[in-house]
Amino acid sequence: MPASVELINSNTVKLTLELKLSGSMLEMEGAIQHALNEAGMLMTGEALKRFDTDGSPIVLGDVKWSTKGLQPKGYQTPYGEVSVERHVYQRAGGGKTYCPLEPSARIVITSTPKFAQQVSSKYTQGSSGEVQRDLADNHARVVARSYLQNVSEAVGAIAQAKEEQWSYATPKLATAIETVAISLDGTCMLMCTEGYREAMVGTITLYDRQGERQHTTYIGASPEYGKARFLTRLEREIAHTRHVYPHARYIGVADGAASNWRFLESHTDKQILDFYHASGYLASAAHAAFPRHAAKRQQWLDDHCHQLKHKQRAAGRILSELEQLAQQSLSVPVREKLESAITYFRNHKQQMNYAHYRTQALPIGSGVTEAACKTLVKQRLCHSGMKWKDQGARVVLSLRALVLTTGRWQQFWDKINQYGVPVLA
């Protein structure tokens, strides 16, 4: 017996579902899933009707619109495609039509909001083909790849269009926030026509008094988005965070790129050079200390990294030692690496007081941002053979940043629920 619904009153329906259980457990579970999908379609169809008009004329702006009558339309739902008869309106002079049900029910293209939310969330994790397989294998939903991509792009377009208008709440955590670390970096991705280009990633991370990370806000921008626009977005997020945590210490953590420091110096009280970049230069310099003895070279590196992290004013002493090593006779490749390390330490030794930073429970590494480059960009946009057009990259990065920032994905959909779906979608 198929599922059926019975109208109890204007706001209540009764669902009847009868299912014969036979076969293996796996077969019965499959039958249950199909029956529940059938029930979901029936209930969603009834729910959609609640957002339609009664057929009376409506006024949009100064123009009167009249119904052309009830016309059927298929809508994609988490359970299957539902055909609904709804009023379609038109002006007296003809022209384009308008269906009040769709903006009222927050329809995205022809998808219900819950299905659009599910599809776009899955699309941040994998390609349209992977989303298609997941829906078929795990939800008994067969949907065209092109439709899944179109819905995801429409949701991404909303996120991009509302970047400036919609602000998202930075969580007010129960744990006292002592430090806010701001960091930014770039990572390369392959574009269709321009080859490898740099996507930008920014993070704003909240730390408690013990230096434990409590929350991170992620921001990503495609190569064509433009670094200036990316920095403006990051500034808005910083301003919002300062409003929530006005008494926290604001520090910048980054590698040696001069453009990063120019930005961070205007927004943070203290700037810290990423320890792991500094230790990487020490690894290069170690070849000058022991060109032919790998074991001694490793011991030298371990000892100097320990000094740099744990001893006060170690950066200055290490710099002096590196300058002394430069007086030796060295091969050209070894000398070049050593001179690069010397320049790096000269330029940044004032940002390498790691022993002091550690006593203040301050982060000394940009690992959060390095990880963000991987999780936000690399894991989704840099699979083997992937090439991107700018709009596609923007969609994925916009949605992925919302998903990865705890609480923000739900806030985004709460705003769609409150304000509706822009016409662009």
Q: Could you read off the pLDDT of 104-147 as tens digits, one per residue?
A: 999 999 999 999 999 999 999 999 999 999 999 999 999 999 99
Is-contact 318 282, C-beta < 8 A? yes
Distances (CA, A) of 230 to 31, 199, 224, 236, 250: 49, 10, 10, 10, 20
Q: Using CA atoms, how far apart are residues 421 and 102, in angstroms rounded to an integer?
A: 9
Q: What is the pLDDT of residue 89?
A: 96
pLDDT in tens, 208-244: 999 999 999 999 999 887 888 899 999 999 999 999 9
Confidence label for 256 from pLDDT (cuts 50, 70 and 90): low
Confidence label for 35 from pLDDT (cuts 50, 70 and 90): very high
Average pLDDT over the chain, rounded to whole?
Answer: 92
pLDDT in tens, 44-72: 999 999 999 999 999 998 999 999 999 99
Q: Using CA atoms, how far apart are residues 363 and 65, in angstroms rounded to an integer?
A: 61
| Average pLDDT rounded to a whole number, residues 252-262 | 85
Q: Using CA atoms, how far apart are residues 144 and 148, in angstroms rounded to an integer?
A: 7
Confidence label for 313 from pLDDT (cuts 50, 70 and 90): very high
pTM of the model: 0.88
pLDDT in tens, 166-211: 889 887 788 999 999 999 988 999 999 889 999 999 999 999 999 9
Joined together, the tokens standing for residue 240 give 């919002």
Would you tell me which CATH number, out of the four given (3.30.2010, 1.10.760, 3.30.420, 3.30.1330), belongs to the domain 179-274+365-404?
3.30.420
Q: What is the pLDDT of residue 70?
A: 96
Q: What is the pLDDT of residue 112?
A: 98
Confidence label for 7 from pLDDT (cuts 50, 70 and 90): confident
Q: What is the pLDDT of residue 425?
A: 46
- Determine how many CB atoms are found less than 10 A away from the CB of residue 369: 25
Q: What is the pLDDT of residue 163?
A: 84
Is-contact 341 322, C-beta < 8 A? yes
Rg (CA), the chain: 29
Q: Is the pLDDT of residue 412 over 80?
A: yes
pLDDT in tens, 339-351: 999 999 999 999 9
Q: Where are the domains of the chain?
A: 179-274+365-404, 276-356
